[in-house]
Structure 1
Amino acid sequence: MIIESIKSAFKKHFNRVPIIVRSPGKINLIGEYTDGYVLPAAIDIVTYVAVSRRSDDDIHLYSESYSEAFQGKLSDLNKTEKDWINYILGIADQLQKWGYHIGGFNLYIDGDVPFDDELSSSAAVECATAYALIELFSLSVPKLDVAKIAQMAEKGFKGGNGSIIDQFTSVFGKKGNAILLDCKNLCHEHIPLKLDGYQLVLLNANLEDSTSTIRLDRAKEQCEQGLLWIKSNVTQVVSLQDTSLKMLDKYVKGKDVEIYKKCKFIVEENQRVLLAAEHLKNANLKGFGQVMFQTHDGLSELYQVSCNELDFLVNTVKKIPYVLGARMMGEGFDGCILNIVKEERIDDFIEELTQVFEDEFSKKLDAYVVEIENGTALIL
């Protein structure tokens, strides 16, 4: 059992009995790049963090995944060349900046959220570390503040620049539910995800695209420009979430077609998230799947962040009658598509897609069948 293994490893490295916390990775069911409405969910691919107090100011870390150790001092926190270390040190740094008192600690980390695939691995590490240190030092920190502290740890110490979606999902995830989240004000609602004989299957194409960051940054810049054109005419608009296709047609389309396409995707994606949430509330999984297909088409044709391999996979899936929906996933799991597959046909699905993908591209697919799980929690 993983918990017994962690306890044993912790005793071996630190000769102490630890507190253990688990924190999930996340998927975004729908709602990419919107900075508005999104529909993420916590999954059963998790990170475990075990901690114990020290009598000094030292921080001693060990990662099972990397077989690496680190030692530093709480009073002298500095960035390192290792991301997994920075995630942890960033939390210690932020807790102190928020006015919470912590001491030296031992920390052991293990789990199955893949660092190389970035299935919100940083958020899982950050939230697990935050929860563990909060419990260890008997701190009283509101759940929303935990997510904000974790986000600030990534922005300020590690150097990331992402939204709060990953950390929010890791903290507020609920078994069997997606989260309808408005990123603008962090209002949220848990939406039951009743799969009723279907399962969520991730297919990872293991792609490496050196231009993806450049393309994403360019798309965001184009959206910002389109928003500026609208705001100069409609003063009450704050974000593209507040706009409409009519506004885009009037203030953007005639100025730049490419900017119009990027903005059009964002406006339509915000609308699709709300529609998808309604489908889930009505247990209309087929309707939800169709919205997923529409999102992929928008990501490919309008936002232009897909690629030949992912388009090939989704177009192949569209022809399979026992799959209700599929789309590429954006930030969080590069080179991956999310699918809703009939439970008894999952093995057939994985075998078929693996074979056709290898025949077409001479590349292997990795498959993950995931469950929607609870957010970060103390387990021992």
Structure 2
Amino acid sequence: MKDLEIKEKLKEKFRELFGECENARFFFAPGRVNLIGEHTDYNGGHVFPCALSMGTYACVKKRQDGLFRFYSMNVESAGVITADEDSYKPLEDKQWASYLKGVIWAFQKRGVSFPTGLDLVLYGNIPNGSGLSSSASLEVLMGSILKEMYGLSVSFPEIALIGQYSENNYNGMNCGIMDQFASAMGKKDHAIFLDTATLEFSYAPLVLTDYALIITNTNKKHKLIGSAYNDRRRESEDALKILQKFAEIKTLGDLSDEEFFQLEEKLEDPIIRKRAKHAVLENNRTIAAKKALEEGNYHEFGRLMNLSHVSLRDDYEVSCEESDLLCDTAWSLPYVLGSRMTGGGFGGCTVSLVKRDKIKDFEEELQKVYEPKIGYRCSFYEAEIADGPREL
């Protein structure tokens, strides 16, 4: 569906639920795909994501009282969720709207008060559980809505940080900054090279003529909260504390590969050593991948993507049978330069660099292997690299 069609659907649903939508406003925030640099964003490393044309849309109108009312066309069974001042319950709120409420709560923690509430109808076209960051899209969308509807002087990098804060402290998910930053700062036909330790960033042009980025959804639903994600963060922090006794570093991202290999024996626990190895080497791979892309060396970029997946599979242990099968199959095809899992892991998607005139062959080959082995089909999307949040 195009923006105009989605606006009409949102209007129709808004009228049905909340009455007249004259003076209602429409907003969008994108999902993201990460090209390389996974699980480095909370380890002080670099990430290399881009915003997607898929994302979350909202029709919004101010109310006369202080209530916030939320409805999602993707979770119709939940009905209208109403939030008053007593309903913000960090770490207890498990409704889908907790991602929106968490952002309101985080703004309030910064001393922002909202004189009136909002009625809000949402529609998202990011596949649920795909690892393309629907949660960050929701958070950035809510931050953008509050900025525009109440005239708040908050920058988009700040909106990303507020989204991360709310997901950490309201939703209990210890994510890094990448997802929210990629959604908030997206730029069409560019990837974002972000140093997560300093939030310094630059845009790298990503106009692929002969190749395409194909996202393959395992269709295995992954749920990060309460999963091994928070364990990985803790294990990485344990490794950092030990290594700081032997090296002047603030984050694992401060180490070169050589420095890590000189120090790795100090990490006696083999699990913690593997986690740190991934964080350090993945960061340096990401720096090398940006250079390769700038030089137009797509073969080297693809090789680094492959190494990234192997490291996520073997050292960080966040892959799964479905993602591994998709990558193994992609690696066997001569017209695929690289393929890796993307996102937090335990399901979700892979991203592959595929010769543009072989996309159909690629999809047929992966499906042919995947469905008989896994028992259901995978899905494909060509990554359209898009701008960040906007008012429609």
Q: Relative to structure 2, which stretch is displaced further, 239-248 or 288-297?
A: 239-248
Corresponding residue for residue 70 of structure 1: 80
Q: Give 2:82's aligned amino acid.
A: G
Residue in 2 aligned with 1:243?
A: 255
Residue aligned with 1:328, SS = strand
The answer (yes or no) to whether the contact 1:32–1:38 under 8 Å persists in 2 is yes
Q: Give the conservation status (yes or no) of the 8 Å contact 1:174–1:372.
A: yes
Superposed counterparts of 1:280-295, under 5 Å = 280-295=293-308
Q: Does 1:16 align with 2:28?
A: no
Q: State the shift of 1:71 in Å.
A: 4.5
**Partner in structure 1 of residue 187 of structure 2:** 174
Partner of residue 351, structure 1: 364
Among residues 7, 19, 23, which one is paired with 2:11 in the alignment?
7
Single out whichever of 254-263 and 5-14 deviates more from structure 2.
Answer: 254-263
| Aligned residue type for 1:192 | P
| 8 A Cα contact 1:194 1:283, kept in partner | no
Question: What is the CA–CA distance in structure 2 between the aligned matches of 1:73 and 1:312, rounded to whole Å?
Answer: 43
Deviation digits for residues 141-182 of structure 1 (CA, Å, limit 9, x no counterpart): 122221122222222323322112111111101010111111
d(CA) in 2 for partners of 1:221, 1:327 = 24
**TM-score, normalisation: structure 2:** 0.89
Map 1:119-138 to 2 at 5 A: 119-138=132-151
Worse-matched range after superposition: 247-256 or 139-148: 247-256
Work out the number of aligned pairs and report it. 378
CA contact (8 A) 1:23 1:124 kept: yes
Query: C-alpha displacement at 1:213, in angstroms?
Result: 6.3
* Conservation of the 8 A alpha-carbon contact between 2:81 and 2:97: no
Q: Which range moved further: 215-224 or 313-322?
A: 215-224
Alpha-carbon distance between aligned partners in 2 of 1:12 and 1:342, rounded to the nearest angstrom:
46
CA spacing shift, 1:205–1:237, aligned 2, 3 Å:
same
TM-score (norm 1): 0.92
1:227 equivalent to 2:240? Answer yes
Return closer, same or farther for 1:353/1:277 CA change in 2, 3 Å cut-off: same
When residues 65 and 174 of structure 1 are mapped into structure 2, their CA distance, relative to the original with a 3 A threshold, is same
Conserved in 1, the CA contact under 8 Å of 2:33 and 2:343? no
The equivalent of 2:54 in structure 1 is 45
Residue 214 (structure 1) shift: 5.4
In structure 2, relative to structure 1, the CA distance for the partners of 1:257 and 1:77 (3 Å cut) is: closer
Name the CA shift for 1:219/1:137 in 2 (closer, same or farther; >3 Å). Answer: closer
For residue 331 of structure 2, the aligned residue among 299, 305, 318 is: 318
Q: Which amino acid is the alignment partner of residue 61 of structure 1?
A: F
Cα 1:213–1:341, aligned 2, differ >3 Å: closer, same or farther? farther
Residue 252 in structure 1 maps to residue 252 in structure 2? no
Q: Give distance in 2, aligned partners of 1:118 and 1:324.
A: 22
Q: Verify the 8 A CA contact 2:31 2:55 in the aligned structure 1.
A: yes
Pairs within 5 Å for 1:157-306: 157-207=170-220, 215-234=228-247, 236-253=248-265, 255-306=268-319
Partners of 1:47 and 1:110 within 8 A in 2: yes
CA 281–210 in structure 1, closer or farther in 2 if over 3 Å, else same: closer
Amino acid at match of 2:372: D
Secondary structure, counterpart of 1:141 in structure 2: coil
Percent of paired sites with the same residue:
34
Q: Which residue of 1 aligns with 2:99?
A: 87
CA 1:152–1:303 in structure 2 vs 1: closer, same or farther (change >3 Å)?
Answer: closer
User: Is 2:37 aligned against 1:31?
Assistant: yes
CA shift at 1:209, angstroms? 7.2
Give distance in 2, aligned partners of 1:333 and 1:196: 32
User: How many Å apart are 1:281 and its aligned residue?
Assistant: 1.4
Match of 1:327 in 2: 340
Distance 2:104 2:344 in 1: 26
| Structure 1 vs Structure 2 CA RMSD | 2.3
**Contact map agreement 1:25 1:44 (CA 8 A) in 2:** yes
Give the counterpart letter for 1:161 in structure 2: N
The AA in structure 1 aligned to 2:80 is: F
Specify the SS of the correspondent of 1:325. Answer: strand
User: Unpaired segments of 5 or more residues in structure 1?
Assistant: none
C-alpha distance in structure 2 between counterparts of 1:5 and 1:222, whole Å: 45
Provide, for residues 8-33 of structure 1, a one-character-per-residue CA deviation record: whole Å limited to 9, x for no partner. 32233222231111011111110011
Cα pair distance change 1:308/1:139, threshold 3 Å: closer
Quick one: structure 1 residues 369 and 72, their matched pair in 2 at CA, closer, same or farther if it must change by over 3 Å? same
Question: In 1, distance between residues paired with 2:63 and 2:225?
Answer: 43
